[in-house]
Amino acid sequence: MTTTAPHAAESTPSAPVAPVAVSAADVLEWTSLLIEGVVPLSDRALVDVLGALEQLKAAACAAQAQAAVDLDVMERDRQAFAGIPAQRRGLGVGSQVGLARRESPYRGRVLLGAAKVWATEMPHTFRALRHGRLSEYQAIQLVQETACLEREDRAEIDALLCADLASLDGLGTRRLVALVRQHAARLDPAAVVKRARKAESERCVTLRPAPDSMTYLTALLPVAQGVAAFAALCRAADLAAAVGDQRGDDAMVSPAAPRSRGQVMADTLVERLTGQVRADEVPVTINLVISDSALLGSGHEAGHLSGGGVIPAQVARELAAAGIATDAAWLRRLYADPGGNLVAMTSRSRFHPDGLAEFLRIRDQSICRTPYCGAPIRHIDHIARAGSGGETSAANGEGLCVQCNLVKEAPGWKREQVDVTRSSGRSEARHVVETHTPTGHRYVSGSPAAPLPAPHPESSCASDPEDAREAVGFASVVDISFRALVAEHELLVA
């Protein structure tokens, strides 16, 4: 690999050079050079390589942005020729951008929107991105912070901040955003106030998984309300510290250890929202999917908590035990074929559309089946359209978010269920959907692997008779334990 100084490529040639068409094969060849090239070992050369690669990243992002803008123009022209109404043209382009960049469809729409603004309204920002003086994230921040302004005011801020590339050296993201806001408030204060009022209307509460079996409960609030809520939690923590915390954290190694300030604030939040006396006694309705061996035996396979992601087997057992202890646990058995595919589940009533929808949400683990999309499932839909003869079944059903369900109906899009056998030490068949885009590209999405069941006596293939007896005995214990829990809670098992 040949090293260059970070901004060596910015020298202006004496004569204009005609643009050179760059193909995917060219880019892959450069990528291969980066993968196989040898980096110099001197410290100065290594720093030069780091700077040059950062500049290359920004230039690549600019090239992706230009490609996305060109794709949007071509797709809109194609849809116009096909007679698509003007208000629906462009549907699905952002999803194509996301798939190609291995990003979610939402992220693809954000990237496409920013690229269109750079190309048409913020040429200096686009140029700075091409030359590596701005990162893609910083360039997107410039777009978002000027979204409330008229086109002329946005162009003025673009020129003020990015016309001189040298002025961007040493300018961090936080300082850059502060400068944009200062100029925006000066150029159009009414627009900034209007934006703040609009932001208040978008207040909401969201939930997303966090590492180590935790979760982020986030509230987007007007600043005054957010500060007041946080201050109330702080006062509760101060009061607990002043009077002495009588409630040690039972989850800690030392049961008598007092709760920390953060723990008191978190518990107070839960208690005030739910009305419970203690945060850890909140009754909840959750979908916890775990193998029988992990729940009732000593298995270690992780479970999946709807809305909470993957959790360790021991944590899942503690959740189930807490529910059983308070008579708040409902068990439903899921059936899997030898390949690990979920095929049915028990229910108090017969298998009906509502039950099928719940089954598909469990199979897809509540996450949209479109590749790279992490949005929650909102729609249960047919893979092969019902109007075209597609049956209402688990094999022909999938969970999608709202946007992906709309995009699949756009011209040129097609989804189909395919038979794929994946090898991971053993043959494992999974529910696989293939997405076809208008450009002819194909993307595959497989359903998450279901928890492995305990070995069944009849299917035990242990070569050693002693191992076979142990497997049969373990499976029998698991089955007996499950039936005992079912009998205790008066559940019907088909």
Do 269 and 277 meet the contact criterion of CB atoms below 8 Å apart? Answer: no
Tell me the C-alpha distance between 130 and 253, whole Å: 54
Condensed to tens digits (0 to 9), the pLDDT of residues 13-66 reads: 445 566 778 889 989 988 998 888 887 788 898 999 999 999 999 999 999 999
Residue 160's contacts (CB-CB under 8 Å, 6 or more residues apart) are 183
Tell me the C-alpha distance between 333 and 239, whole Å: 46
Beta-sheet pairing, 414-423 with 303-305: unpaired
Residue 386 token pair: 């019902």
Q: Is 380 exposed, middle or buried (0-12, 13-18, 19+ CB in 10 A)?
A: buried
pLDDT of residue 483: 54
Tell me the C-alpha distance between 179 and 156, whole Å: 13
Beta-sheet pairing, 427-436 with 414-423: antiparallel
pLDDT of residue 230: 94
CA angle, corner 20, sides to 15 and 25, nearest 5? Answer: 155
pLDDT of residue 478: 47
pLDDT of residue 354: 59
pLDDT of residue 186: 94
pLDDT of residue 283: 57
Residue 315 token pair: 């944590």
- Walking along the chain (494 residues) 10 residues at a time, the average pLDDT comes out as 42 58 89 85 89 94 97 95 92 96 95 97 97 96 95 96 95 95 94 89 88 88 92 91 67 61 92 80 60 60 65 67 56 55 48 65 86 90 83 87 91 86 49 93 87 55 49 47 49 38
CA angle, corner 323, sides to 298 and 259, nearest 5? Answer: 90
Residue 94's contacts (CB-CB under 8 Å, 6 or more residues apart) are 105, 108, 109, 110, 111, 112, 113
pLDDT of residue 96: 96
pLDDT of residue 8: 41
Residue 452's contacts (CB-CB under 8 Å, 6 or more residues apart) are 291, 293, 301, 340
Residue showing tokens 């673009």: 158
Secondary structure, 3-state, the chain? CCCCCCCHHHCCCCCCCCCCCCCHHHHHHHHHHHHHCCCCCCHHHHHHHHHHHHHHHHHHHHHHHHHHHHHHHHHHHHHHHCCCCHHHCCCCHHHHHHHHCCCCHHHHHHHHHHHHHHHHCCHHHHHHHHCCCCCHHHHHHHHHHCCCCCHHHHHHHHHHHHCCHHHHCCCCHHHHHHHHHHHHHHHCHHHHHHHHHHHHHCCEEEEEEECCCEEEEEEECCHHHHHHHHHHHHHHHHHHHHHCCCCCCCCCCCCCCCCCHHHHHHHHHHHHHHCCCCHHHCCCCCCEECCHHHHHCCCCCCEEECCCEEECHHHHHHHHHHHHHCCCCCCCCEEECCCCCEEEECCCCCCCHHHHHHHHHHHCCCECCCCCCCCECCEEEECCCHHHCCCCCCCCEEEECHHHHHHCCCCCCEEEEEEEEEECCCEEEEEEEEEECCCCCEEEEECCCCCCCCCCHHHCCCCCHHHHHHHHHHHHHHHHHHHHHHHHCCCCCC
Tell me the C-alpha distance between 268 and 273, whole Å: 8
What one-letter code names the amino acid at 287? N
Tell me the C-alpha distance between 290 and 24, whole Å: 44
pLDDT of residue 293: 60
pLDDT of residue 493: 38
Distance set, CA 242 to CA 127, 235, 236, 255 (Å): 58, 10, 10, 20
Q: Smallest Cα–Cα separation from 138: which of 102, 179, 100?
A: 179
